[in-house]
Amino acid sequence: MATNRTFTMLKPDSVEKGNIGPILEKITASGFRIVAMKLTQMTTADAQAFYAIHKERPFFGELVEYMTRGPIVAAILEKDNAVEDFRTLIGATNPAEAAEGTIRKLYAASIGENAVHGSDSDENAAIEGAFHFSGREMF
């Protein structure tokens, strides 16, 4: 079932560099409404579960280290065509390949430390949102 919601995380590098404000400004200026949001930190078990699809990949250990090293901003966003439009807004996984003006082009350092997460399907958006938020935290 298609929905109009996606899930994002401003990853630890974005929080460390003071980029929460500029990134949220870009997200809301692009027409996304914030439905849920919090500053939180994932445990190792959380990150292993969240990224379980990548557990056989060579970068999995580094990814879990990175995503747990400090707080993140987790958020659910609403817009028509949210999943696809948000992936367009953030740009390619590797910032060297990301289009001009995308969040990863502007704020990501490398393919590993790439500033933001964006769900890749409506199904995963729902799963990932529910991973971080209860029903009472969604508006």
Residues that bind Mg ion (CB under 5 A): 120
**Is residue 120 involved in binding ligand UDP (CB under 6 A)?**
yes
Is position 132 annotated as part of the catalytic site? no
9 binds, among Mg ion, ligand UDP, none (CB under 5 to 8 A by kind): none
Strands annotated E in the chain? 5-10, 33-40, 72-78, 116-118
Q: Max Cα separation, the chain?
A: 39
C-alpha–C-alpha distance, residues 64 and 57, integer Å:
12
State the binding partner of 93 from Mg ion, ligand UDP, none, CB within 5 to 8 A by kind: ligand UDP
**Which position among 63, 74, 75, 98 is part of the footprint of ligand UDP (CB under 6 A)?**
63
Picked from Mg ion, ligand UDP, none, the partner binding residue 114 (CB below 5 to 8 A depending on kind) is: ligand UDP
Q: How far is CA 72 from CA 2, 4, 5, 63, 91, in A?
A: 27, 23, 19, 14, 19
Three-state secondary structure call for residue 87: helix
Catalytic residue among 117, 118, 119, 132: 117
- Closer to ligand UDP by CB, 20 or 111: give it: 111
Q: Which residues are catalytic?
A: 117
Q: In the complex, which residues of this chain contact ligand UDP (CB under 6 A)?
A: 54, 59, 63, 93, 111-112, 114, 117, 120
